Amino acid sequence: MRREADPMGLKLRGVFQCGACGKPRGFGAHACSPGKRQRQRTALRNPVTWECGTCRKPRGVQHTCTQRSDFKARKRKAAAEERKRKRKAVRERQAARRKQAAADRRTRDRARKTAAKAGKGKPRARSGESHEPGTCGDHDCLKYGCKAYWQGLADCPGPHEGD
Tens digit of pLDDT for each residue in 132-146?
776 777 778 878 788
| Rounded-to-integer distance, Cα 91 and Cα 102, Å | 16
For residue 47, the enclosing domain spans: 1-67
In the chain, the percentage of residues whose pLDDT exceeds 70 is: 61
Position 141 in a domain: no
pLDDT greater than 70 at residue 35: no
The reported pLDDT for the residue numbered 1 is: 41
In a domain, 162, yes or no: no
How much is the pLDDT for 78?
97
Residue 70: is its pLDDT beyond 50? yes
Mean local confidence (pLDDT), 102-127: 83
The β-bridge relationship of strands 24-25 and 43-45 is: unpaired
Average pLDDT, the chain: 76
The whole-number pLDDT of residue 2 equals 45
| Together in a domain, 42 and 95 | no
Q: Name residue 135's amino acid.
A: T
32 and 76 inside one domain: no
